Each structure stands twice: as C-alpha cells, then as structure tokens.
A and B are shown apart, each in its own frame.
Chain A
C-alpha cells in the first residue's frame, strides 16, 4: 500500500478495510470528499472514489441513490468547482437513451465533433460502426433503428473518440434479455480491444457480476460496499452466488416496501 492510500485510510479509520479495496494502480479518476446537493437535498456526501487505468467498474444502487449524478460529474457535465475532482481529458458517455441526433445519418452521429478531413473522419466512423456490427446501417436515419441498434451506435460514437474513461449509464436496461447478453459480449470485446477505464451504472446485479473488475454499491450518498472480482469473466458462476447475496443485501432490497400502501386498501375504500 502506498503512502497516498495510507493517508486516506488515516482520515477515515473506520473505512480502512474498504480503502484497501480501493487501492488502484495509476488512478485516472479520483474524487476526494466529493459532495453534491440540490438545495438542501444532499445526494452524495463525502464520497471517495478512484478508478484505475483500464479498470471496469460497475456502480449499483437503488433508484434515486445518485448514480446518474455521480456519473454526470465524472462526465464533466456538472460544475464541480471547489471540489477535489480529477477526471481525464478524454471521456465519452453512453446514456440510457441513446441520444442520437435524429437529423444526422448514423455515421454522422458517430463522427459528431470529430475534427479532421471529412474523408478520414468518415473512415473512422465507418470502422467504429463495423466494430459494433452495424457496417450495413452507415447511412440509415437514427429513428429507423431498433433500440439495440441505436445503443450500439451510441457505443460506437463513444469508442471512436478513444476515450480514457468510458461512462455508461444503464445503457442496456431497455433491451430484451438476449440482446442484452449480446451487448455484454460486445462491450467486453470492445473494452478488451481499446482498454478504456469504464464506469457503468446498472440496476442489474447479474450484469454487474458478469462484467466488472470491481462492483460498487452506492447508498445514501456513500459507497457502502465494494467487491473486487478476480475470477476471469465467464468462469464466475462459482463466486456469483455469494456475491449476489452480498450485493443484494447491500442494496437493501426489501427495505423500501415498508412504506408501500397495499393496493387492496385503497380499493376497499371505494366499496
């Protein structure tokens, strides 16, 4: 453990165990004591996070726990002045809704914001689209794509920038199970080919286990659990069971139901 990490551990003695999990070689993302609030509503408080070069991190958390808020900060979309936030210069985001510009053909969407000669830019965009298996839809209009295809275009658009940090916000949650599995394979293949650091937000514990080097669980504005998975992908069925248990309990599944008013009660009120 190097000096920097032991310094951090000293500041949060209670978290010592977790911080050792956070020992990351060459971090390209580092948030220290990061806090984000909307008015009086504190969403993220005193959060420390490091992501290593080429590391695949998956962020889990209940709806409203602040995952998107954290991702937006890492994307540089929210102002973080006065906070200790270090993010790499080259970043790319894939949003839950693909956010393609409907008035630009698929390849132009991928090429959006790339600088250089039109021919070279088009070549680059085409190569990226071939990589995600959409070489035949280069000149299609985005509104004619299926959800999975649109998401693959968004992936191509992110990767063509060769980002150091790739941010994925629930990119596959709108896809059917089979397409989602294909997208997992594609994501892993692309990640292995290009080696960006990845932070992926998801609700799906199994998705997290299948993809991540490290799984984080965000709750009440803090990272409450971290799990590093060392088993190679594809050979994780042995560890998956225990992991899933631990992650689900960290997610506090069931805790919300106390406040749910059973439907039948309101039904009876009408009778």
Chain B
C-alpha cells in the first residue's frame, strides 16, 4: 500500500516519467476505460479461450499417457522413454518449429500451451500411480477385487493428490506459455494489447495487462485449491476444517 502511494507521488512529481511507468491512478482510469469499452473483456476472453483449449488438450493427453504407462507394463516401456526425451526439450524452444508447422494463427499458440501442459500432468500422475501404497493394493486384492475395481477404488484415488499437484503446475505453465505465445503476431488477446501498447509507449495499458495475467494465475491456483478441498476431504487436515 505504502509502495502504491510512493509510486503515485513519484509519478505525479515527475520522478518516474509517464513513458517509463504510468501512475497507479492512470492505470486504474485506463483499466475502467478498457473495461467499459469492452476492449479488455474481449481480449481477455480470447486469451482465456487459448489457455482453456490448450489446457484441455494437454491435460487430456497427459492423463491418457500417464494412465497407459502407469497401469500397464507394455505402456510403461513404450510411453515413458518418449516422455523422458520430451521433457528435455524446453517447450518455448519449439516456438519457431510450431510456427513453421502451424502458421501464425491460433493453432501454434494452443499447440504450445497444450504441449507444455502435458508433462506436469504426466509426470505427477505417473509417479502418483507408481507410489500408491502396495499394502493397500494387496489388502484390496485379498478381498477379491477385479483389476478394474482395483484401479477404480484404490489406484486412481490414491494417485489423485499427485494428479492435483500436476494440475497446479500445468495451469501455471500454461499461463506462462500463453504470455510468450501471444507475442507471436497476435491480432487479439492480452499479448496483442501489450504489443500494441508497446508500440505507442502506453505503459498504463501494459500494467493493466500484467495485472490481468497475475489475476489469471491467482484464479487458476484458487481453482485447484477448491478442487483439492472437495476431492481430498478425507485428509485429516481437511476433515478438521
């Protein structure tokens, strides 16, 4: 709070020039204008759609791959080495390749987000499945559960906490990649707003967009927390509250 006041005073007095960083009051005014004009909600929706589609694809793929390699020996042998190789490639380094493959429309952006969000899900769910207490599995097996029942009642619930950790990582990676991917010749979205603002040296707009990115990140975290509280009610820490 004190920082905000200091920032405001510095801007007013001219210590921080407008083109370096806009004053908080200017940022707020700009934000309300952008909301009122529909500029911010419209572009935010475009960005959100990119994250959501990318995540949907990435999380689904990560889930399937982790289930295949976590639950079957053959799957482990085929899928896991591929995923380990994939892990060594930084996603953002693939940007040029994706542009060549998918052009400069929505596809490469969504593809990058999807690609980046596969791995946290895969790694966490896979190791979660592997780490399910063998004694619980054995106990359940002694009651004559079928393989499917074993997976459904024991292995998947046991791996759920790890999956949620993976989901949290995936969400933050997705937003990170979104920021970079939107620098690719976008004609809408938060990244487009930032690029435009840069060209006109509108630091107020840039700050507004940064704030929105931060809110997106916080929102994603909050979402996973809610899911965790619902899905993991059995944990003593959750039971107590």
Contacts and interface: CB of A to CB of B under 8 A. Distances in A.
Contacts of B143: 92, 112-113, 157, 161
A103 B138 CA distance: 16
B236 A101 contact: no
Given A143-B234, A143-B236, A95 B140 contact: no
A99 B145 CA distance: 15
A37 to B, nearest CB: 20
Given A95-B135, A95-B139, A143-B236, A101 B154 contact: yes
Contacts of B1: none
Interface residues of A, number: 21
A113 B145 contact: yes
Interface in A228-263: none
B235 interface: yes
A159 B155 CA distance: 24
Interface string A94-114: 010101011110000000110
Nearest to A96: B135
Given A141-B233, A143-B234, A144-B236, A75 B142 contact: yes
B158 A99 contact: no
A93 interface: yes
B198 interface: no
B171 to A, nearest CB: 23
Most buried by B among A76, A93, A99: A99
Q: Which 4 A-B pairs have the closest CB atoms?
A: A99-B139, A113-B143, A103-B157, A93-B142
Interface of B: 135-136, 138-145, 149, 153-154, 157-158, 160, 232-236, 239
Given A92-B142, A113-B149, 19 more contacts: A75-B142, A77-B142, A101-B153, A101-B154, A101-B157, A103-B234, A104-B234, A112-B143, A112-B145, A113-B144, A113-B145, A141-B236, A141-B239, A143-B236, A143-B239, A144-B236, A144-B239, A157-B143, A161-B143
